[in-house]
Structure 1
Amino acid sequence: MEPARALRRIAFLLERENAPEFRARAFRRAAAAVEELGPGEVARRASEGRLEEVKGIGAVTARVIAEAVRGEVPAYLAQLEAEQAAAWGPGHGGRLRALLRGDCHVHSDWSDGGSPIREMAETARALGHAYIVLTDHSPRLRVANGLSAARLREQLQAVAALNRELAPFRILTGIEVDILDDGRLDQEEELLAELDVVVGSVHSKLRMPAEEMTPRILAAIENPHLDILGHCTGRYVQGKTRPESAFDAEAVFAACARFGKAVEINSRVERLDPPMRLLRLANELGCLFAIDSDAHAPGQLDWLSHGTARAEAAGVPPARVVNTWPAERLLAWARGHGRESG
């Protein structure tokens, strides 16, 4: 196994098991350092025991590199693979997981993700996806390095170039746009109209009273530019927990069904949003769904199985999950809300 490949696989496995972020990043830094050195220099330093002199390579990553150079499967990699084999083996996530063709909520290092667009796309392709929707944050979310209109336009050019290289895999253009206090969307309308898919989420004033939060969300759903309502309750169920936002769920989901908008089933382990009672309600009201990873790192792209398992438990029909559709049907659905073609 090539050392860089082994290091990146370890990073992927750490991200998938939701290990502390700094651990996975250490392996990705080491992979980048190895590629910069080149195979000959890596082999020479490994034989001389001088790998740790290279910036970005520490004791653990040096051991992984040395084992890979010797033609061995690095011990740490073998350990992680064995530990995760049962939970992530064939069939994980149920039958629905195998039907997903893409992921409609993915972040990159253009906002608060940890990896470049290319790395996210190539990992998704390796997982069997046909497409991802790139949904970095909008300007108001400064803590997440949200994209100004100018930066988003620059990103669109970068995506176009990558798509020429990665075809037939597709990176669909998008954004996770903040739903502002009055229900407006936090980006220029003309620019939103150019995007393929728009996810809208509430990130501020999550404790707003229900009588204010409900019309806020409803206004966003009625906006022709919004396609998917992201992590609707804003809750955190792991780590630093956060309660659900209060709103009239029946009114919100009925509006999603009426306007043909999708309710996101967010697969992040700390979110698992919406809660099962609300997921069942949305299903009973005939909503469309998008089962999304909300990935901020490559290994998190495999978290879709958390969402598919919950969708199956709630009885969600696969035909109403928009990312079981091929890209062209997904795009036609999004354009059907009144937005221009991306």
Structure 2
Amino acid sequence: MEAVDALNEIAFWLERELAPTFKVQAFRKAAGIIAGLDAEELAARAADGRLKRTKGIGDRTFQVIREALDGGVPEYLAGLRTRGAGPLVPGGHELHAALRGDLHSHSDWSDGGSPVQAMADAARLLGREYLALTDHSPNLKIANGLSAERLAEQLDIVAEINADGGGFRLLTGIEADILEDGTVDQAPEMLDRLDIVVASVHSKLRSDKRTMTRRMLGAIADPHTNVLGHCTGRLIQGGRGTRPASEFDAGAVFAACAENNVAVEINSRPERQDPPGELIKLALDAGCLFSIDSDAHAPGQLDFLQYGAERAERNGVPAERIVTTWPLDRLLEWAGSRR
């Protein structure tokens, strides 16, 4: 196999396993270093020692490249494929198979680790029909949120990717911060241009229940909002530590989502598992729609939808209530219905 493909596939499997970022980036970086070399030049550099002396090529990545040049599947990649052959979770398989797309993902334009094209390519590889690119909005400076000008530039990149066709659509979008006054963070004229708007709270998560409820209701009422992202903001595991769920009037918030045709996100990141099961059931009883999303920050994390599907199935969410099971035309009609 091609050495570049082997390095990138290794990175994919490591991302899926939530491996440390430095380990993933070692393979992504090595792939970038050799990407411009033809097979003959790469083989020559590997044979005479130049490649091994190249900054960014370590012992492991060099071994992978040499084994790929020899015509086989590198041993390290074969092991990862074996580990990844099984599902991530024991249940939710039927619902996972029904998912057509994903409405929450990030690229290196904000706090993701990979280019837009790499995210789109991975979504295609996983059989997605659509993926929404939802990098952060300008208020979230720590995540390199997109100004209106940068978002406009990103829309051109998305248009170029979609020009290839091929039965896949990269949707324009944003994860817009819900500001303290309940407004959605981004210029309205830019929000008008997007296919999908995920609105999420990222700051002052320990606000009192009344304040947080008022804030969330304001964003849900905004006609641009399509999805209420990771509504409790909790973290239950992972390298960032843990964080308790925000307090809000869930009955009022989910009633507003149902009334305004806003989907409640079932966030598939294993460290979030947001909302918890009791809130999924409350939203279901309130008549809400749902969106099972990966919140991927790297290509391999797009496969996290398995986690969300398992949780949705366990809590009795029917496929017809999940917008990411819908075909693209129906999804876009729903997303634009309030604008």
Provide the TM-score with structure 1 as the length reference. Answer: 0.96
Q: Compute the displacement of 1:112 (Å).
A: 0.7
C-alpha distance in 2 between matches for 1:142 and 1:219: 22
Q: Compute the displacement of 1:157 (Å).
A: 1.3
Q: How does 1:1-342 map to 2 (within 5 A)?
A: 1-88=1-88, 93-239=92-238, 240-337=241-338, 339=339
Deviations, residues 196-232 of structure 1 (Å, cap 9, x unaligned): 1100000000000001100110111111010100000
C-alpha distance in 1 between matches for 2:17 and 2:165: 27
Check conservation: 1:137, 1:175, Cα contact below 8 A. Answer: yes
Check conservation: 1:33, 1:55, Cα contact below 8 A. Answer: no
The code of the aligned residue for 2:182 comes to G
Percent identity between matched residues is 59
Check conservation: 2:176, 2:200, Cα contact below 8 A. Answer: yes
Misfit runs of 4+, over 3 Å: none
Deviations, residues 261-296 of structure 1 (Å, cap 9, x unaligned): 100000011111001111111112111000000000
Q: Compute the displacement of 1:254 (Å).
A: 1.0
Q: Compute the displacement of 1:92 (Å).
A: 6.7
Superposed CA RMSD in Å reads 1.3
Q: Compute the displacement of 1:83 (Å).
A: 2.2
Q: Compute the displacement of 1:86 (Å).
A: 2.9
In structure 2, list runs of 5 or more residues that go unmatched.
Answer: none
The code of the aligned residue for 2:256 comes to A
Deviations, residues 89-145 of structure 1 (Å, cap 9, x unaligned): 9x9741011111111001111111111111100110010001111100000000110
C-alpha distance in 1 between matches for 2:108 and 2:306: 24
C-alpha distance in 1 between matches for 2:211 and 2:229: 18
Q: Compute the displacement of 1:88 (Å).
A: 4.5
Q: Compute the displacement of 1:56 (Å).
A: 2.1
Q: Compute the displacement of 1:49 (Å).
A: 4.0
Q: Compute the displacement of 1:326 (Å).
A: 1.2
C-alpha distance in 1 between matches for 2:112 and 2:286: 34
C-alpha distance in 1 between matches for 2:91 and 2:118: 23
Q: Compute the displacement of 1:47 (Å).
A: 2.6
The code of the aligned residue for 1:76 comes to Y
The code of the aligned residue for 2:43 comes to A
Deviations, residues 177-197 of structure 1 (Å, cap 9, x unaligned): 000001001111111111111
C-alpha distance in 2 between matches for 1:304 and 1:225: 24
Check conservation: 1:93, 1:304, Cα contact below 8 A. Answer: no
The code of the aligned residue for 1:321 comes to I
Q: Compute the displacement of 1:328 (Å).
A: 1.2
C-alpha distance in 1 between matches for 2:165 and 2:243: 39
Provide the TM-score with structure 2 as the length reference. Answer: 0.97
The code of the aligned residue for 2:32 comes to A
Check conservation: 2:46, 2:52, Cα contact below 8 A. Answer: no
Q: Secondary structure at the match of 2:35?
A: helix
The code of the aligned residue for 2:303 comes to D
